[in-house]
Amino acid sequence: MGPKKAVPSPKKNSNKSNAKVAEFNFNHNNVTNKRLRSDNSSKGSENSFNGELSQSKNQSSSGNERIMKFLGEKIDKLAEDVNNSLAKLSENITAQQRDINQLKSDVANNTKSNIGLSTRFENIVVQSESIEKELKRINLIITGLNDPINESNESLKQVVEELCSRVSKSEIKVDIVTRIGNHSALKPRQIIVRFYCLSDRELVWASRKSTVPPIFINEDLPFTLRRDFAILRKKAKDLRRENEDAEINWRKKTITTESDVLIVKNGNLVSNGQYDGQSSQKGGKDVNLNSHDRGIAILVKDNLKVKEISNNVENSVNVEHFTIQTTTSLKIYLMNIAD
């Protein structure tokens, strides 16, 4: 017989099974414990996260409140500064508006005053022109006579008397003869001739067209009239060159055309529509500059009007001086007439 096989003991097998069961239970418990610990750990982490999140929210909320409070204070301060600036600006605007209103009032008053002074000045110019024309009324101006270098006053007076007598066909005696301007070889100087009486002057003036060029006889007019008459002549010449009718009124200083009436005012030629039409004389009467029948009475009246104007001007120093000069000229004129 062969060798006997050892038969395991049932008791040993039982112990072995128990050991395996115990090992399984241990492993199972270990896994279960790990799961429990893992679940507990995750719950703890979640609770911790939730706490941190809540704390973060609380901190964020408190931070926003601080920011809003800071911004609110800044906005209030800025609004206060803006309101103060607007108040000051409003005060400045009000003050400036008062100043502007005052300046407007001053400008309006000055404008009225300037208009008044301008009108008075124009009246004075008209009166001065009228007086000067009256003083020069007895004079004539002769151009074109020979002008030798060493000419004596007596020889000049003799030549002028011969010319006036020849032109008027009557014996004429002159009072004063004077050449004006500097001697020139290009053309002879003009001669101012003052007659003894107005009748002799009128005779020569009425026969002025009897002279032979280059000799001409003209009136001794004030500068303003000479200027205005030159403007009228030039404009009339231009209009006639364009085949337009132009009629000159020397007394009114106007040019009448088919479509318009032009007038010379203060050295400017304007349309009659631009002219205010106001007369420089009281009562709306124009000064008749070419009227020779007014005599000394009108000259005295004109001079009194100048005095009246000077009394109405606030700063009338120059005007009063002008009145004194015209009064002196009037006395000289009366003395000459008396002689």
Please name the amino acid found at residue 151: E
Mean pLDDT, range 170-176, rounded to an integer: 90
Residue 33: C-alpha distances to residues 29, 38, 44, 240, 333 (Å): 6, 8, 16, 135, 150
Report angle CA 222, 224, 229 to the nearest 5 degrees.
Answer: 95
Measure the CA dihedral 306/312/313/317, to 10°. 60
Take residue 283 and report the two structure tokens written for it: 């009562």
Report angle CA 295, 298, 302 to the nearest 5 degrees.
Answer: 140
Whole-number pLDDT of residue 178:
92
Contact 216, 140 (CB under 8 A): no
Lowest mean pLDDT among 105-114, 247-256, 268-277: 268-277
Model confidence at 43, pLDDT cuts 50, 70, 90, reads: low
Domain 137-220: give its CATH architecture. Answer: 2-Layer Sandwich (3.30)
CA atoms within 13 A on the CB side of 319: 22
pTM over 0.75: no
**Torsion angles phi and psi, residue 313, rounded to 5:** -90, 130
Whole-number pLDDT of residue 16:
53
| 277-333 confidence digits (pLDDT tens) | 443 333 344 444 343 333 333 333 344 343 343 344 333 333 333 333 444 444 444
**Sheet-wide strand order for 174-180:** 174-180, 190-195, 139-143, 216-219
Report angle CA 23, 25, 28 to the nearest 5 degrees.
Answer: 110
